[in-house]
Structure 1
């Protein structure tokens, strides 16, 4: 599956009274990372939503390994763990840019829904969108670059070259079989889906 590495710097407004990065901000960074991963494949979140496809969060988790402080420079690696016509799952690894020391790990799970909040199968309902997303299933990772969120100021990182493909990549037939057997939680039963189409996850 595709991977993307994003560099960012902890901003003053992202810290709490103790001077540490506030725990909820990690999920904002995860959002920045997966947004850029999709954009680098030539399809933005906005384009998805303009075509009536939304990605609410079904599950989100983060394991905090060590605190980070104001002005720390971080490197966020985003990996697409799973892509089916009904779901996308991402994994995240956050580390200090200077030392590579891990500071957090996380995951998010998303379902494709339409404007009414109903689950959709992109291969059937939006084949043109599915054709744009399907290359994300490729085992070759995207080149590592630096993309700073709005308001950040970072220097370009050194080029690390291509990384090896993740282990356990399934062949296309196995994924199609998994697609047919993949039960999708009904987004309308989740708080995210009940908030409506203006929620961008």
Structure 2
């Protein structure tokens, strides 16, 4: 027996799109859509305008892979950042998590995921070659592998380390505080700060 539609096609489309967002299933999407519609002036209209601006203005930094409204991004363009250290992360959400922790004043490099042969993700699908080029260009003293403590994350870390072998750069990784199987975006700022401070050679 097919489920009965309770709203017009426009609202159903909104619900279906919201349901595609991480953390929102069909039920949560219906609640979110209803809340947006009921708060049309206070929430829905400003959100729509903000999304339109983001669609037009947001871009990917050609240097590190961060998401910002400028290229290079605010972090890459900041002269106060330590350009001798690059923190390598899987995704932009991990970069943002480390920035919230305010544990290090370095520059970043977003890989865009992890190696996963089962999912068809190869080194060519990630920005590993770009990282090697940044290091080869000179000025980088240390590369910190701030990848998730998953099998895929550790496989990626080993591969990146191999690619950096022979270059005059220290390679380290996060240490205490990051649990096996844990993801950076779900950790608190204190744990992230401790992990960065207690990093070890890789």
TM-score, normalised to structure 2, is 0.24
User: Which protein, 1 or 2, shows the higher relative CO under an 8 Å CA cutoff with sep ≥ 6?
Assistant: 1
Q: Which has the higher helix share?
A: 2
Q: Which has the larger radius of gyration?
A: 2
